Amino acid sequence: MKKRALTLLLTVALSAGLLAGCGSSSDSSTAASDSQTNAETTDSESDDIAEAADTASDSKGSLRVLGWNSMVGHIDSALAYAAGYYADEGLDVEMTYNNSNPDNIQALLQDKADLVSAGATAVLNYIDQGSDIVIIGGQMSEGASLYALPDRASEFTELNEETLAGKKVGVTRLNTGDIAFRKMLKDRGVDVSKIEFVELDSQATVVEAVKKGEVDLGIAFLTYRQSAEAQGLVPVSYLDGEDEWPGFICCRMFTTREKLEANRDAYVAALKANIRAYELMQTNEDETIKYALQELETDEDTIRSQVYEYGHIGFSPNPDVKDTDQFFQAMVDIGYSEGNVDMKDYIDSTVFEDALNELLQEDPDNEVYLQLQAEDQATNQD
């Protein structure tokens, strides 16, 4: 009895072993398939995790960038955003525009923006009055001209005390062309107190005042230059000649010292994007116009004319310590600023330099980057 029971148990055990060992072909395939699927899923998840980790390591955080979009003056930032360069450099950028220098500066100081562009005279005045703002890049230079009626242009072939004493010059307040003109006259020994500078409420008003003979000369900038010429006025000086002020600055890029110190890498990345935008402008006109039209509130003909045809304007992202400091001194000399600060303490060119050096490591033979490197050495380094 015991022997029969043992035999039965062995038979059952062997059958169970055979079933467990061989199983049905479908069970075996399913088990293998499940194992392979699990392995592939694990590999895929690992790849996703690795990619996410790489992305996270490349991320420089977020920046709220604020500029103008009614003219081409802030085209570097507009292009950097539209072409995807900010994203390429690991930045999550919220790009907005407000065509008011004081409002844009206030937005930065009230923590409603992180990286701002505005006219030089406005931001330098804020710094002089105590705002701890740091200029880290350029946006525009030059771009302003002095106009007269065509039948009077010959009176101003020479711009000196003899031709200008007793004359009226129409300007808008804090216009960079106004500062450049007065510095130019000072350098020539002209007593500017003998000239009446008439501050008007807009560029259109300046042009109209020259046309009506209410002022003898008027300073117009950017698209208003072409508007002035379309209405019959003629330029008697572009203010940027060799014996005037070549390369005089205009719009600057800046942030607060606190923001810069908190996330310097983000600002280096932003300058990399703006330098790339500048390189695009220098090398690809059609792509530049395509991206500019996505952001700027103007037409193709205006962009093409202002950026590529008219001349007497620059878009270098270089902060230009030398000329920015000279510009501030000119503001102090004519009473626009008090001169409370050493302006060089409020310009950090190393952000631009680090950004440029990273790009040169990636593309060491790039002619535009090499040209900017030469600019940096000439204008930012002692």
Q: Give the residue-averaged pLDDT of 137-161.
A: 97
Q: What is the pTM of this model?
A: 0.84
Are the C-beta atoms of residues 320 and 283 closer than 8 Å to each other?
no
User: What dotted CATH number matches 58-140+250-379?
Assistant: 3.40.190.10
Question: Do 58-140+250-379 and 144-237 show the same overall fold?
Answer: yes
Residue reference for tokens 């200008």 = 164
DSSP structure string for 252-303: EEEEEHHHHHH-HHHHHHHHHHHHHHHHHHHH-HHHHHHHHHHHSSS-HHHH
- pLDDT, tens digit, for every residue of 280-339? 999 999 999 999 999 999 999 999 999 999 999 999 999 999 999 999 999 999 889 999
Confidence band for 173, pLDDT divided at 50, 70 and 90: confident
Looking at residue 344, what is its pLDDT?
98
pLDDT > 70: what percent of the chain? 85
Amino acid residing at 263: N
- The continuous run of DSSP H or E covering 57 comes out as helix 25-58
Amino acid residing at 337: S
Looking at residue 24, what is its pLDDT?
33
Domain map (residue ranges) of the chain:
58-140+250-379, 144-237
Looking at domain 144-237, which CATH architecture does it have? 3-Layer(aba) Sandwich (3.40)
Confidence band for 29, pLDDT divided at 50, 70 and 90: very low
Instruction: For residues 260 and 312, give the distance between their C-alpha atoms in angstroms, rounded to a whole number.
Output: 32
Q: What is the DSSP letter of 64?
A: E
Looking at residue 299, what is its pLDDT?
95
Q: 11 in the Ramachandran plot: left (φ > 0), alpha (ψ -120 to 50) or beta?
A: alpha
- pLDDT, tens digit, for every residue of 187-228? 999 999 999 999 999 999 999 999 999 999 999 999 999 999
Q: Which segment of 4-8, 300-304, 374-378 scores lowest on mean pLDDT?
A: 4-8
CA distances from 296 to 25, 75, 85, 378 (A): 68, 8, 17, 32
Q: Give the residue-averaged pLDDT of 36-43.
A: 48
Looking at residue 382, what is its pLDDT?
79
Cross-strand pairs, 253: 117, 137
Phi then psi dihedrals of residue 320, to 5 deg? 55, 75
Q: Is 50 exceeded by the pLDDT of residue 145?
A: yes
Instruction: For residues 326 and 316, give the distance between their C-alpha atoms in angstroms, rounded to a whole number.
Output: 17
CB atoms within 10 A of CB 227: 14
Cross-strand pairs, 135: 254, 347
Are the C-beta atoms of residues 271 and 355 closer than 8 Å to each other?
yes
Looking at residue 43, what is its pLDDT?
52
Cross-strand pairs, 116: 66, 254
Over its C-alpha atoms, the chain yields an Rg (Å, rounded) of 32
Is residue 99 classed exposed, middle or buried when 0-12, 13-18 and 19+ CB atoms within 10 A define those classes?
Answer: middle
